[in-house]
Amino acid sequence: MTTALAFIFVFGLLTVFHELGHFLMAKRVGILVEEFAVGFGPLVVSRVIGETRYSLRLFPLGGYVRMLGEEEETEDNERSFRHRPVPSRLLVLGAGPLMNFLLAVFLFAVIFFWLGVPASGSEIADVIPGGPAAEAGLQGGDRIVRIEGKEVRTWEQVVKVVSARAGEQTSITVERAGRSLTVNLVPRPAEDDGRGTIGILRVMDRHNLLSSFYWGTRQTVGTTLFILIRLGQMLTQQAPADVAGPVGIVQVVGEVAQTGFLNLLSLAALLSINLGLFNLFPIPLLDGGQLVVVGWEGLTGKPLTPEREGLIKLVGVILLLAILALATYHDFMRLGV
């Protein structure tokens, strides 16, 4: 898959799902959706179904939803975006980022469904050649039952005990074909964090739909928390600013696409989470900024005047351009340009 096709696939998927969230929620709360478009630019083909025009545009990077009264005041129409109750508008605005998180869950679930999800129990799927487990004679199919005389039943218990015993003589008892076998080995410290490892692989259950969505949700939540923590560290200067702009993202997408489709799906899930979070930032023009404006209207009971709303949008444009410029600068610095 070429870089261009991979880029179109990833960002088309992310933005269309984002807009689909706005579209579905707008329909749900009774807002008139005038158009749902896939892509931008000149019209290729369109069809009116019910009250909405569905269109395909020439440039397949993204899409948009046009709702009645979203950009400007209309005549007194109860189905206009601006005339709907504040809670309804908040739901519509928040549905876009929410759909990005749901897309990440789905993409991770597809990956887990294909590659497998961690099985329960403490059975070894395989051993890594040259590792402590292989040298001690452990084999795939062995079930670990005790470590240093203490009973273990789950893989998490195995990892916890072994991780704490780097460089220490450790006895491990396994069940093999109905027999009990005890071996002695020394866990090796991992290069990245020094935790003990013995070179064993966990059993994976493939094609398990429910478990795949559970692990997809778990992966999405964990990744989201990691990004938020990392962002907090960058803002407090506890970690270097590491951001990527369009140039860097295109490069990464192209590189990942060469390694396989599942890896591209994993990157798409990661980018979808980032897009969902970024859109929740309280920056004018983004969903987060609009959530603040509509929320303020709900608290005060008064909408912003057109002049103030225009000023806020101008500030939003400047902020977004500044963020884009900073990210692009980091891209070129990373590329050595």
* Residue 175 known to be catalytic: no
Which entry of 19, 73, 135, 297 is annotated as an active-site residue? 19
Per the listing, tokens 């897309």 go with: 103
Q: Could you give the C-alpha distances from 197 to 106, 110, 156, 165, 193, in angstroms and in order?
A: 32, 29, 13, 9, 11
The DSSP-derived string for 154-207 is SHHHHHHHHHTTTTS-EEEEEEETTEEEEEEE-PEEPTTT--EE--EEE-EE-S
Q: Output the six-digit token pair for 45.
A: 């083909």
CA proximity to 89, closest of 296, 305, 269:
296
CA proximity to 175, closest of 142, 211, 136:
142
CA distance 106 to 98: 13
- In this structure, the number of other CB atoms found within 10 A of the CB of residue 97 comes to 25
Q: Could you give the C-alpha distances from 332 to 3, 51, 275, in angstroms and in order?
A: 18, 46, 22
Phi-psi region of 29 (alpha: psi -120 to 50; beta: other; left: phi over 0): alpha
Please list the active-site residues: 19
